[in-house]
C-alpha cells in the first residue's frame, strides 16, 4: 500500500513533464529559435522559499512554539497558531504557467471557496475544458490520439482538432483570479469577460470572453515554450484572439500576487491584505509601485485566489519575466527582504556568489561544470583534475594522419541519453564535425560473434533470422518464441535483482545467456554476465519483462521508447531547438568525430573556460572534509572552501578521499582493467568481414577460444571510416583484451604488464581470428587500469542506500555523478551530469536557503512505474505522428 501510494504521488508529479514534452512537440516548429539557455522544467519554481522562517523585526514577548509575534507587525494570534512553521513547503507538482483571470474586486469568484465553482465564470470554463480533456486522456488509455481528437472534436465544438493533443495533456498550469481591475477601456457589458494575464510571460490578453475566445487562447498558450530565459511569443493562431499586451515591454518588471482568498482560508484572508499593504507601502517609498500616481512603476501587487499551501500563509508568488517563484510563511517583517533580494536583484540572488567545486575532468565533470556555469553564471565553479588533460577515458590520438581511439570511439544517439549527447554537441557548435553512421551502413547492419571456430554474422532482419541463420542463432528463434509465453518473475521487493546470466537463462536459455549476451557484455562492460546486474547494466531487459511480461513482446511493442516522463520532456525540449537535425541524427546507428571523440571533451573544456570555470589541471584532490556547512577540499597545492561539491570521480576514489564519513557502498563495485591495442596495416581490406567487429562469448560457452582473454576486435576501417582518410588506404583494427578475463590473458597485474606483452597478445588474436599475419605499420597500446565499473547484482538497492546516506549525512554539500552510478556510456554520463545540475539549479539546492537535498541519485528515490513506462511509449508514438503531420 505504501509502495502504491508513493508511486502514485510520483506519477502525479512527473505527469507534467509529459505534458511539456507533447506540448513542445506540438508547438509550431517553424518558429524562430531563441538559442537562449533555458532552465529545466518547470520554470515556475515550486519549492516554496521561506527565507528565514519568520524572524520578527521587533520581537514581542516569548516565542510560542514556532511562532514569534512581532511588535511592529501584529496580527491576530489565532492565525499564527494555525500556521505551519515546521513542515517542508513544496507543491505537489511542477507548474509551467500561471494563468490569472483579472476579474477586479467585483469578480463573483471571490464569494466562493472554490473559484471553479462559479458557473460560467472564467476559471470554471477553463477548468471544464481541462477536465474534459484530461478525462478523455485518462479514460482512453491506449487509444490513438487521432481517435481521441475525433471524439473530442465531436463533443466540444469550441475546440479545433489541432488544439486537442495539447489540451489533452494540460495539467501543469496554475489558474487563479486576481483583483487586478479589468482593462477599463475594453470592459464588456456582460460578466464574466476578464483580462487574462499569462505569467511569467507578462502577457495580458484583454477582455477575453470565455464562450468564444478562451479555447483558442488556451491553445495559443500551450504553444509557448517553457523557457526560463526568454519565453517567445508566437503570432496568434486565430483571428478570434486579441493581440496580447506585453507588459514587460511597458516597463513592468515584477508582478507580486498575494493570496487573499478569505472564503477559501481565513489565514490567507487575514494575513494576505496585511502583506499587500506592506508591499505597496515599501514599494511606493522606493518609487517602484505602479499605480495611478506612478504609471511608470516597475512592480504591481495584487490579491489572488488560492495558490495552494494556505497552512503556510502568507503565500506569495513573485513573477518576473525569468520565472515565477513561490514564497510561503511570509510576514510583513520580511517584505523588505523579498523586495531587496528578489524584486530588485532577481531571484538568482539567493544563489548568487555560490561556489561549487567539480571533482574530476572526465566527460561527467566537464558536462557538470559546463551546464552549471551556463545555468548559474553567478556561481564560482572550479574544476579539479588530477592529470594534465581533461577528458578522462575519452582519449584520441593522431598518428600519420590517422585518428586512434584508446577509449570510447562512438556514441549511440538513441533515447534520452543519446538526445542529450546530441544536444550538447549542437550547443557546442560541433554539428558539422560530427560523423554519423546510418543504419544502412554495413557496420551498423553486420555484427559478429566468434562461435565454434568461426566468426558468425548476426542476422540483421527477421528474414535473416529465419533463413540462413548462422550456427550461433540456431536455438535462438525457438528460445525467443518460447520467451513470449514464459511467465514474468514475481519480484518480491523494490530492490530485487538478478544477474544478466540468470535473467537470460530463465527467459531464454543457457546458449543465449553465455554466447549472445555474454559476448555483448564483453563489448559494453568487458564484464562477466554472471556477475552484472540485469537491472542496472541491462535495464531495457529488466523493464521489458516488468512492463510487457516478456522481452520479445516488449521489443515488438516499442520497449526501446520507454522513458520516464521527465526524460520525455528533456528530449522534446532539446529536439524543439533543431527538430530536423535531431530527427536525422537520432535515426543514425552511431555518431563520432573525424578527429576522435576528444573533439567533444576539448570543446567542452574550452567552453567551460569561456564561461568562467576555473580548470585546475595536475591537482589531484587528496581530501574532502564536510562538516555541517563547511566544505573543505585539499590538494597538494591548495585548500579550497566551497558551498557545494559535485564529485565526478570514480566512486572508489571518492570513498578514499572523503574524511570523517563512511558513505555506504562507494567501494562495493570493482572496475575492470582493459588493454586497448590499435593496429594499422598498410594493406587495405585485410579484414574480410564487412561489419563493425566481432565479440567473444563468455567462458561458460562450449566454444573454444584460441586466444583466451580476448574480448573482441573492432574493424575500425569499417566502423568509423572517417578516422582513416581516403588517401591512407590501410586496414585499421582495435583489439580489446582483459576485462574480467584478465587472468586468462596475462600472468601479471596491469601495473606489471609491459605494453609489448599486450601488443604481442593482440597480434596473436588478430592472426588467429582474422588470419592477418602481416606486421602492423603502426600500433598503439594502452593499458587502461580500472576503466569500466562493474554494476554487480544489487547495484540498484545499494544506490538507493547511498542516496539516503548522502541526504542524511551530507545535507546540501555533496552530490555525485559519473560512470560509477547510473550508466557507463558517454551519453549516459552526459545525461546524468546534466540532470544533476538542472536539479541543483532548478530546485534551489545551491541557494543560501536550500530546501531539497539533491544527491545526483534522485532516480533511486523513485520506483519503476510500469504504467508510466507504457504511457511513455504511447506518447512517444503519438508525438511522432504529430510532429510528422505538422
Ligand X SMILES: Cc1cc2nc3c(=O)[nH]c(=O)nc-3n(C[C@H](O)[C@H](O)[C@H](O)COP(=O)(O)OP(=O)(O)OC[C@H]3O[C@@H](n4cnc5c(N)ncnc54)[C@H](O)[C@@H]3O)c2cc1C
Q: Which stretch binds ligand X (CB under 6 A): 39-47, 328-336, 797-805, 826-834?
A: 826-834
Cα separation, 807 vs 852, whole angstroms: 9
Q: Which is nearer to ligand X, 321 or 723 (CB)?
A: 723
Q: Which is nearer to ligand X, 375 or 824 (CB)?
A: 824
Q: Which is nearer to ligand X, 153 or 617 (CB)?
A: 617
Q: Which stretch binds ligand X (CB under 6 A): 320-328, 356-364, 463-471, 677-685?
A: 356-364
User: Which DSSP helix (H) or strand (E) runs through 507?
Assistant: helix 500-507
Residue 865 makes contact with ligand X by CB under 6 A: no
Q: What is the DSSP string of 55-71?
A: --SSB-SSPBTTB--BS
Q: Which stretch binds ligand X (CB under 6 A): 42-50, 73-81, 747-755, 782-790?
A: 782-790
Residue 674 makes contact with ligand X by CB under 6 A: yes
Q: Which is nearer to ligand X, 478 or 641 (CB)?
A: 641
**Are residues 550 and 483 in contact, defined by beta-carbon separation less than 8 angstroms?**
yes
Shortest distance (Å) from residue 92 CB to ligand X: 34
Residue 824 makes contact with ligand X by CB under 6 A: yes
Cα separation, 757 vs 737, whole angstroms: 12
- Mask 596-635, x = binds ligand X (CB under 6 A)? ------------------------xx--------------
Give the torsion through C-alpha atoms of 360, 363, 369, 375, to 10 deg.
-160
Shortest distance (Å) from residue 832 CB to ligand X: 9
Task: Figure out which of the listed residues 259, 449, 788, 830 binds ligand X, where binding follows CB under 6 A.
Answer: 788
Q: Which is nearer to ligand X, 621 or 695 (CB)?
A: 621
Q: Which stretch binds ligand X (CB under 6 A): 13-21, 178-186, 324-332, 360-368?
A: 360-368
Convert 757-790 to b/e letters by CB count within 10 Å (16 or more is b): bbbebbbebbeebbebeeebeebbbbbbeebbbb
Q: Which is nearer to ligand X, 42 or 407 (CB)?
A: 407
Q: Which stretch binds ligand X (CB under 6 A): 77-85, 362-370, 700-708, 751-759?
A: 362-370
Cα separation, 534 vs 500, whole angstroms: 4
Shortest distance (Å) from residue 371 CB to ligand X: 14
**Are residues 497 and 534 in contact, defined by beta-carbon separation less than 8 angstroms?**
yes
Shortest distance (Å) from residue 72 CB to ligand X: 52
Cα separation, 68 vs 58, whole angstroms: 10
Task: Figure out which of the listed residues 37, 151, 475, 825 binds ligand X, where binding follows CB under 6 A.
Answer: 825
**Are residues 148 and 73 in contact, defined by beta-carbon separation less than 8 angstroms?**
no
Residue 818 makes contact with ligand X by CB under 6 A: yes
Cα separation, 153 vs 739, whole angstroms: 59
Give the binding-site size for ligand X (rule: CB under 6 A). 37
Shortest distance (Å) from residue 587 CB to ligand X: 18
Binding residues for ligand X restricted to 630-659, rule: CB under 6 A: 648-650, 653
Q: Which stretch binds ligand X (CB under 6 A): 323-331, 458-466, 511-519, 821-829?
A: 821-829
Q: Locate 597 and state its grid cell.
A: 571523440
Q: Under DSSP, is residue 398 helix (H, G, I), strand (E, B) or coil?
A: strand
Residue 194 makes contact with ligand X by CB under 6 A: no
Q: Which is nearer to ligand X, 414 or 848 (CB)?
A: 414
Cα separation, 6 vs 862, whole angstroms: 8
Task: Figure out which of the listed residues 379, 500, 829, 853 binds ligand X, where binding follows CB under 6 A.
Answer: 829
Q: Which is nearer to ligand X, 316 or 381 (CB)?
A: 381
- Mask 136-165, x = binds ligand X (CB under 6 A)? ------------------------------
User: Distances from the Cα of 800 to the Cαs of 27, 388, 435, 538, 771, in angstroms?
Assistant: 37, 34, 38, 18, 48
Strand 614-616 relative to strand 380-384, pairing:
parallel
CA 525 to chain centre: 24
Convert 852-872 to b/e letters by CB count within 10 Å (16 or more is b): bbbbbbbbbebebbeebbbbb
**Are residues 423 and 431 in contact, defined by beta-carbon separation less than 8 angstroms?**
no
Q: Which residues bind ligand X (CB under 6 A)?
A: 359-365, 384-387, 392-394, 407-411, 620-621, 648-650, 653, 674, 676, 784, 787-788, 818-819, 824-827, 829
Amino acid at each position: 500500500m505504501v509502495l502504491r501510494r508513493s508511486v502514485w504521488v510520483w506519477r502525479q508529479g512527473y505527469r507534467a513533464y509529459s505534458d511539456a514534452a507533447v506540448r513542445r512537440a506540438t508547438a509550431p516548429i517553424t518558429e524562430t529559435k531563441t538559442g537562449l539557455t533555458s532552465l529545466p522544467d518547470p520554470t515556475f519554481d515550486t519549492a516554496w522559499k521561506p527565507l528565514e522562517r519568520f524572524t520578527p523585526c521587533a520581537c514581542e514577548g516569548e516565542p510560542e512554539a514556532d511562532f514569534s509575534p512581532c511588535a511592529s507587525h501584529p496580527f491576530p494570534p489565532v492565525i499564527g497558531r494555525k500556521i505551519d512553521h515546521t513542515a517542508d513547503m513544496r507543491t505537489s507538482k511542477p507548474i509551467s504557467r500561471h494563468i490569472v483571470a483579472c476579474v477586479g474586486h467585483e469578480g463573483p469568484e471571490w464569494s466562493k471557496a472554490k473559484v471553479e465553482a462559479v458557473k460560467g465564470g472564467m476559471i470554471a470554463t477553463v477548468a471544464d475544458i481541462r477536465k474534459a480533456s484530461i478525462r478523455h486522456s485518462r479514460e482512453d488509455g491506449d487509444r490513438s490520439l487521432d481517435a481521441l481528437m475525433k471524439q473530442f472534436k465531436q463533443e466540444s465544438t469550441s475546440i479545433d482538432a489541432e488544439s486537442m493533443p495539447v489540451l489533452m495533456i494540460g495539467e501543469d498550469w496554475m489558474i487563479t483570479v486576481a483583483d487586478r481591475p479589468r482593462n477599463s477601456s475594453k470592459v464588456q457589458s456582460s460578466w464574466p469577460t476578464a483580462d487574462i494575464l499569462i505569467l511569467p510571460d507578462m502577457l495580458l490578453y484583454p477582455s477575453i470572453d470565455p464562450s468564444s475566445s478562451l479555447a483558442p487562447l488556451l491553445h495559443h498558450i500551450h504553444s509557448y515554450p517553457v523557457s526560463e530565459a526568454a519565453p517567445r511569443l508566437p503570432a496568434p493562431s486565430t483571428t478570434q484572439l486579441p493581440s496580447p499586451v506585453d507588459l514587460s515591454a511597458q516597463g513592468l518588471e515584477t508582478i507580486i500576487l498575494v493570496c487573499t482568498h478569505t472564503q477559501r482560508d481565513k489565514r490567507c484572508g487575514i494575513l494576505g491584505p496585511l502583506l499587500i499593504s506592506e508591499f505597496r507601502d515599501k514599494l511606493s517609498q522606493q518609487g517602484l509601485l505602479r499605480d495611478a500616481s506612478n504609471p511608470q512603476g516597475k512592480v504591481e501587487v495584487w490579491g489572488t485566489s488560492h495558490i495552494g499551501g494556505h497552512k503556510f500563509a502568507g503565500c506569495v508568488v513573485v513573477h518576473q519575466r525569468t520565472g515565477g517563484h513561490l514564497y510561503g510563511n511570509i510576514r510583513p517583517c520580511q517584505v523588505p527582504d523579498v523586495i531587496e533580494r528578489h524584486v530588485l536583484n532577481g531571484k538568482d540572488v539567493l544563489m548568487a556568489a555560490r561556489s561549487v567545486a567539480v571533482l574530476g575532468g572526465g566527460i561527467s565533470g566537464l558536462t557538470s561544470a559546463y551546464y552549471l556555469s551556463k545555468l548559474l553564471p553567478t556561481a564560482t565553479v572550479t574544476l579539479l583534475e588530477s592529470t594534465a588533460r581533461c577528458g578522462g577515458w575519452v582519449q584520441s590520438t593522431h598518428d600519420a594522419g590517422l585518428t586512434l581511439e584508446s577509449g570510447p570511439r562512438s556514441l549511440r544517439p538513441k533515447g534520452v541519453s543519446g538526445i542529450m549527447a546530441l544536444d550538447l554537441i549542437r550547443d557546442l557548435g560541433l554539428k558539422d564535425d560530427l560523423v554519423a553512421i546510418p543504419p544502412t551502413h554495413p557496420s551498423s547492419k553486420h555484427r559478429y560473434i566468434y562461435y565454434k571456430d568461426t566468426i558468425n554474422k548476426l542476422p540483421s532482419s527477421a528474414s535473416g533470422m529465419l533463413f540462413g541463420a548462422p550456427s550461433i542463432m540456431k536455438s535462438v528463434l525457438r528460445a525467443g518464441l518460447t520467451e513470449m509465453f514464459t511467465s514474468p518473475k514475481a519480484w518480491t521487493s523494490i530492490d530485487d535483482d538478478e544477474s544478466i546470466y540468470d535473467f537470460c537463462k530463465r527467459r531464454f536459455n543457457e546458449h543465449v545467456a553465455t554466447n549472445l549476451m555474454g559476448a555483448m557484455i564483453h563489448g559494453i562492460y568487458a564484464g562477466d554476465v554472471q556477475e552484472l546486474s540485469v537491472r542496472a547494466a541491462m535495464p531495457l531487459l529488466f523493464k521489458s519483462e516488468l512492463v510487457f511480461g516478456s522481452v520479445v513482446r516488449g521489443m515488438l511493442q516499442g520497449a526501446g521508447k520507454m522513458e520516464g516522463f521527465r526524460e520525455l520532456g528533456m528530449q522534446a525540449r532539446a529536439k524543439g531547438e533543431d527538430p530536423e537535425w535531431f530527427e536525422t541524427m537520432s535515426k543514425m546507428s552511431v555518431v563520432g568525430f573525424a578527429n576522435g571523440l576528444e573533439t567533444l571533451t576539448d570543446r567542452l573544456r574550452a567552453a567551460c573556460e569561456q564561461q568562467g570555470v576555473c580548470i585546475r589541471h595536475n591537482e589531484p584532490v587528496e581530501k574532502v572534509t564536510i562538516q555541517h556547512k563547511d566544505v573543505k577540499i585539499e590538494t597538494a597545492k591548495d585548500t579550497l572552501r566551497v558551498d557545494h561539491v559535485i564529485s565526478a570521480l570514480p566512486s572508489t576514489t571518492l570513498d578514499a578521499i572523503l574524511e570523517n564519513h563512511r558513505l555506504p557502498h562507494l567501494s562495493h563495485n570493482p572496475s575492470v582493467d582493459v588493454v586497448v591495442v590499435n593496429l594499422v596495416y598498410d594493406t587495405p581490406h585485410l579484414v574480410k568481414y564487412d561489419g563493425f567487429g566481432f565479440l567473444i562469448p563468455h567462458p561458460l560457452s562450449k566454444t573454444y577460444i584460441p586466444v583466451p582473454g580476448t574480448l573482441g576486435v573492432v574493424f575500425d576501417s569499417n566502423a568509423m571510416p572517417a578516422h582513416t582518410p581516403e588517401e591512407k588506404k590501410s586496414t585499421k583494427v582495435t583489439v580489446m583484451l582483459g576485462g574480467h578475463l584478465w587472468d586468462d590473458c596475462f600472468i601479471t597485474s596491469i601495473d606489471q604488464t609491459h605494453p609489448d606483452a599486450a601488443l604481442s597478445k593482440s597480434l596473436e588474436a588478430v592472426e588467429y581470428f582474422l588470419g592477418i599475419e602481416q606486421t602492423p605499420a603502426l600500433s598503439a597500446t594502452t593499458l587502461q587500469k580500472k576503466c569500466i565499473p562493474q554494476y554487480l547484482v544489487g547495484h540498484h538497492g545499494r544506490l538507493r542506500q547511498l542516496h539516503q546516506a548522502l541526504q542524511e549525512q551530507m545535507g546540501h554539500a555533496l552530490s555525485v555523478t559519473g560512470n560509477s552510478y547510473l550508466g557507463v556510456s558517454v551519453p549516459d554520463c552526459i545525461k546524468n551530469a546534466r540532470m544533476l545540475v538542472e536539479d541543483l539549479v532548478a530546485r534551489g539546492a545551491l541557494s543560501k536557503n536550500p530546501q531539497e537535498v539533491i544527491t545526483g541519485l534522485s532516480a533511486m528515490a523513485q520506483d519503476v512505474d510500469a504504467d508510466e513506462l507504457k504511457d511513455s511509449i504511447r506518447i512517444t508514438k503519438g508525438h511522432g505522428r504529430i510532429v510528422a503531420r505538422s
